[in-house]
Amino acid sequence: MTDATTPADEISILRQKADSAQLPGLVRDRVATQIDRLARLSGSDYTLEADRTIRWLDWIVSLPWQARAPDHLDLNQAKEILDKHHHGLEEVKTRLLEYLSVLKLKQQAASSPSPLNPQPTTHNPQPFRAPILLLVGLVGTGKTSLAYSIAEALGRPLVRIPFGGMGSARDLRGQSRLHLEAEPGHIVKALRQVKVKNPVMLLDELDRVADTARHDIMGVLVELLDPEQNKAFLDHYLDVPFDLSEVFFIATANNTGNVATAVMDRMEPISMPAYTDNDKITIAKNYLLPSAAAEAGLPQDSLVIDQDVWPLIVRPLGYDAGIRTLQRTIQSLVRQTALNLVTGRHQVLHLTKDNFRQYISAW
């Protein structure tokens, strides 16, 4: 609040925001009560309680209670996006296409007259609950990047919530605003960040929460992922329910041993494959190299790698299930090519069996 803004002005602004926020009935009544209470408090000197109320109201009116991202329901385009970024992974791609197919059928049914639906409507038809995917695999097998591709295929924003080292259930569902320095949990913060109620929400590394808080965090996850409970998810700071039923949850884990059985029961686990040498060669040639070259601004064909060199680049990296080390190797080659171009040493870096050791460290 600036020096020129009076408490009455701020209350008026909050009323306007609340009127335009499309709040559910219960929340709207709570907000109106708190604004009236704040108006009474503003008649006296500034108080800590007034500050708490203003912060709470600001969080409430800033959340996407009704705003949605429109879904892209073109199955061919979705498949093209997934194929463009990922080699194989047919099971995951099929699950997403199945989900999009059901969304498309529900949208058509909602907008077409039928004996069961004599008055079609396109305004917020009953949402189809997305499957909750759990991508399980070793480090570097593409779990996180696949989640971003799924969000792109759906046309929804993605928000990532890291669970690695999370030490308290309050990190997920906030703390009562009666406490000093209280704030909402990661779920509510994520929704405010993306400004829609149906984002793709990536719950990353579920198996890596702190041991001391594992039981409590898993309890919150059960509520978060259960379709009968997450339609009225309660963040302790907000203290009003928020409907998470339209969120597309994707979780990742290196293994499932540290994930509670009750949480596992609410997800569809999909094993991410460990890549063979041939898989890695395909990924390096068709995905990693073109992407790294484009990011670095390399001219086309300025980095040429002979076919018989690719197995030498991958080995002994083939013993690694993931591709992160291979990705770093490709990026190193791209940087060396860029240096050669800028300094005028070479216009083309051509890797052969005879010279590749000059550019790649011995393993």
Q: Answer yes or no: are the C-beta atoms of 153 and 77 closer than 8 Å.
A: yes
Angstrom distance (rounded) from CA 201 to CA 208:
17
Beta-carbon count within 10 A of 349 CB:
21
Exposure string of 23-51, with b = 16+ CB inside 10 Å and e = fewer, is beeebbebbeebbeebeebbeeeeeeebe
CA 222, distance to chain mean position in Å, is: 18
Q: What is the maximum alpha-carbon separation in the chain?
A: 83
Angstrom distance (rounded) from CA 214 to CA 167:
8
Exposure string of 109-134, with b = 16+ CB inside 10 Å and e = fewer, is eeeeeeeeeeeeeeeeeebebbbbbb
- Quote the Cα angle for 265-267-269, to 5°: 105
Residue found by looking up tokens 């709570």 in the block: 30
Which residues lie across from 162 on neighbouring strands? Answer: 204
Mean pLDDT, contiguous 10-residue spans, the chain (363 residues): 62 85 89 85 68 89 93 87 86 84 80 58 57 88 88 93 93 90 94 95 94 94 92 94 94 93 93 84 90 91 92 71 84 92 88 88 57
For the domain made up of 75-110+127-271, give the CATH fold.
Rossmann fold (3.40.50)
CATH for 277-358 is: 1.10.8.60
What integer pLDDT is reported at residue 12 of this predicted model? 83
Exposure string of 243-280, with b = 16+ CB inside 10 Å and e = fewer, is bbbbbbbbbbbbebeebbeebbebbeebebeebeeebb
DSSP 208: G
What integer pLDDT is reported at residue 112 of this predicted model? 64
Exposure string of 308-347, with b = 16+ CB inside 10 Å and e = fewer, is ebbeebbeebbebebbeebbebbbebbebbbebbeeeeee
Phi and psi at 17, nearest 5°, equal -65, -40
Domain boundaries, the chain: 7-62, 75-110+127-271, 277-358
Q: Which of 214, 247, 250 is nearest to 233 (CA)?
A: 247
CA distances from 341 to 31, 297, 355 (A): 62, 11, 18
Q: Answer yes or no: are the C-beta atoms of 267 and 132 closer than 8 Å.
A: yes
C-alpha R_g of the chain: 26
What integer pLDDT is reported at residue 172 of this predicted model? 94
Angstrom distance (rounded) from CA 8 to CA 2:
13
Angstrom distance (rounded) from CA 272 to CA 250:
13
